[in-house]
Amino acid sequence: MVRREICDVQRPIPGDRICTLYNLGLVPYETAWRWQQSLVQHKKAGLSSDVLMLLEHPPVYTLGQGADPSLIKFDPDQEGHSLYRIERGGEVTYHCPGQLVGYPVLDLKRFQLDLHWYLRQLEEVVIQTLSQWGLVGTRVAGLTGVWIDGYKVAAIGIKVSRWITMHGFALNVCSDLAGFQRIVPCGIVDKPVGSLHQFCPGIDVEQVRPVVATAFAQVFGVSLQEPMVDLATLLR
């Protein structure tokens, strides 16, 4: 069952674009994937505003559309791991509770028609979030994501169709990182995966959630609004 949690937006962040913020709890990967696909179709038809979903997933592995399956260290046919090949770019990654996932469904025609710009903006959301705890998030030339002291704490993978975005970013807050040992995360063999908990013991997703929302609003220049209806109702 999908658990929905509300994280109140105290007041809209100034901006000339509206973005509906769905604060969700633990959502099965396939459910969130289908929601994104439906939202993209709604936006292509001009039926919905921009959307940001913030949520967590039960343990699951995902492969980008061109990902190399040799980066998986287990046999998905013999072990009880959830695995999806999806339409985003990038290699294999892992989602689990304690990781805050952000799925923006945006019409980039209202922002910039530049995918590199969009990726850098998503990184900037994470970097600004980390700064609230005195952490310095950095980029690595030629790679996508955010690092702290050499540890990759945020992965980013997107799909854009007719300038409508889906998929997004995953920030390890207090995740059990053991699941990453069964893959070569994002195809990067020489940089370890980390979490904010390593640098800020005791931090949890509910502390980080509103900070990510505020950083997203500031970076993209949007006003966040609470939904009028839940996603399941909207997408019937």
Q: Is 116 exposed, middle or buried (0-12, 13-18, 19+ CB in 10 A)?
A: exposed
Q: Under a CB-based contact definition with an 8 Å cutoff, are residues 117 and 158 in contact?
A: no
- Hey, what amino acid is at 83? L
Catalytic residue among 19, 174, 186, 200: 186
User: Residue 15's pLDDT is what?
Assistant: 54
Model confidence band, residue 2 (pLDDT cutoffs 50, 70, 90): very low
Percent of the chain having pLDDT more than 70? 92
Q: What would the DSSP string read from start to end of 8-75?
A: --SSPPS-SEEEEEEEEEE--HHHHHHHHHHHHHHHHTT-S-EEEEEEE-SSEEEE-TT--GGGB-S-
pTM assigned to the model: 0.91
For residue 131, the tally of other CB atoms under 10 A from its CB is: 13
pLDDT greater than 60 at residue 161: yes
- Based on the residue annotation, tell me whether 186 is a catalytic residue of this protein: yes
Domain 17-234 has CATH 3.30.565.10: no
